[in-house]
Amino acid sequence: AAVEAQFILTEMGAYEKLLEATIGHLNAQRAQGRRHVTVSPEKIDALFSKLTESNGHDVKETSFGQLRQSAFACTKCPNLVSSRTQVVFGVGNPQADLMFVGEAPGQDEDRQGEPFVGAAGKLLTKIIETMGLSRSDVYIANILKCRPDTPGRSTGNRAPTTNEMATCVPWLHKQIDLIQPRMLVALGKTAVGGLLEKDVAITRFRGQWQTYRGIPMMPTFHPAYLLHNQSLAEKRKIWEDMLAVMER
């Protein structure tokens, strides 16, 4: 109901601005002695198409903001809530055609509140830029919105458990439903397995198209893998996967 109310307010605001501009233009024409103004049906259609498009964009932004605030207040996993610095919701363009999905925030992400900002994140940024895009063109998120806790350890990260991913993945579902990307890229064994809900061997799944919630999904290596395996052969594999994404 709140979203519908916001849509009505947004629509009326745009409509009133359009009406005010139209009346001003017609008054100016009348002052110059004109009594008839001809407008083609094509121009009318184009005008209202832009109005509808603008309204849809505003509603999506409002819905995305509401979802973000709800995720920030999530307390479903007490162990993660007690250890997290902040919720790492996601970053990028809510209108993106391409969405990257990782497994969970690490220590750097927990501190900064943004996914993929550590060494692996910098490598992901380079990969995205090599594709001819920027981080602001795509959307980047994780299955888990909170950093997995590491009891008894002050450094390092751990992979999320199956139960943690099952609890948190509805937030990702809602993000995908709002963004409606044309393509997904799943980064690493844990992310691929978490999305497909089964244990996977990333060496067999990478480069092989899958479908997630009706959207084509490309499984590929996590950028962290390339930090530890810097052979040209391994780098070529992830680049081949990205070429397949861009081609499709």
Six-digit token pair at 182? 């044309």
Spatial separation of the C-alpha atoms in residues 53 and 46, rounded to whole Å? 11
For the cut 90, the answer to whether the pLDDT of residue 8 exceeds it is: no
Q: Identify the burial level of 21 via C-beta atoms within 10 angstroms of its C-beta, where 0-12 means exposed, 13-18 middle and 19 or more buried.
A: exposed
Q: How high is the pLDDT of residue 12? A: 47
**13 beta partners:** none
User: What's the pLDDT at 3?
Assistant: 47
Tell me the pLDDT tens digit for each residue of 126-184.
999 999 999 999 999 999 999 999 887 767 789 999 999 999 999 999 999 999 999 99
Q: Is the pLDDT of residue 88 over 90?
A: yes
Vertex 179: Cα angle to 178 and 181 (nearest 5): 135
> pLDDT tens across 167-183, in order?
999 999 999 999 999 99
Q: What is the percent of the chain with per-residue pLDDT over 70, rounded to a whole number? A: 81
